Amino acid sequence: MKIIQFPPLFYLLLFGVLFSCKNEDKSCTSCNQEVNVNNADSIETNNSLEQSISESKVEKKSVEQVENLKKIEKKYGEQWDFCTCVIANDSINKAFSKNVSDKNAEKLMARWEYVEIKCKEFLTQPNTTPEERALHEKKVKKCLRNKR
């Protein structure tokens, strides 16, 4: 039986695809979303039914996320928060972008596999709408900015 070995560039591309198109983790405490207070005056109070429906959707999503997190933690152990995952993945990406020896590439792949296990929840959140993708990108940039 022949074992297929992929070049490090393949793993870098795979890594980029896996981590570039994912939604945010709602439990991140260090990456709070900015709220636009100027739009508060435009909210009408007669839309209470619409507001309660949207709130129930948020609660349902949060419950699903909590349940998913429990399942993931049961299988893979404690999960890292959003910013920790972003920073760890960014450092691995930067290391792969340099010319690395095969020995160091293997070490980076081992590190990447460890980070992937600690960031499973990060991988389970899909970005389906342009708004979610934009919010995710903004949150990632904020994490990377605060890293320094």
Alpha-carbon span 87 to 119, nearest angstrom: 11
Alpha-carbon span 25 to 140, nearest angstrom: 11
List pLDDT tens digits, range 55-92.
434 444 578 878 888 999 999 999 999 999 999 999 99
Alpha-carbon span 140 to 148, nearest angstrom: 13
- pLDDT band at residue 46 using 50, 70 and 90 as cut-offs: very low
- Which tokens sit at 61? 């999503």
Instruction: Specify the residue for token string 């296990």.
Output: 117
Q: CB neighbours of 93 closer than 8 A, spacing ≥ 6?
A: 12, 15, 16
Q: CB neighbours of 80 closer than 8 A, spacing ≥ 6?
A: 88, 118, 119, 122
- Whether the pLDDT of residue 95 is over 80: the answer is yes
| Burial environment of residue 126 by CB neighbours within 10 A (0 to 12, 13 to 18, 19 or more) | exposed
Could you say which DSSP state residue 38 is in? G
Domain ranges of the chain: 62-148
Alpha-carbon span 109 to 96, nearest angstrom: 9
- pTM tops 0.75: no
Write down the mean pLDDT value for the chain. Answer: 71
- pLDDT band at residue 106 using 50, 70 and 90 as cut-offs: very high
89 neighbors 19 (Cβ within 8 angstroms): yes
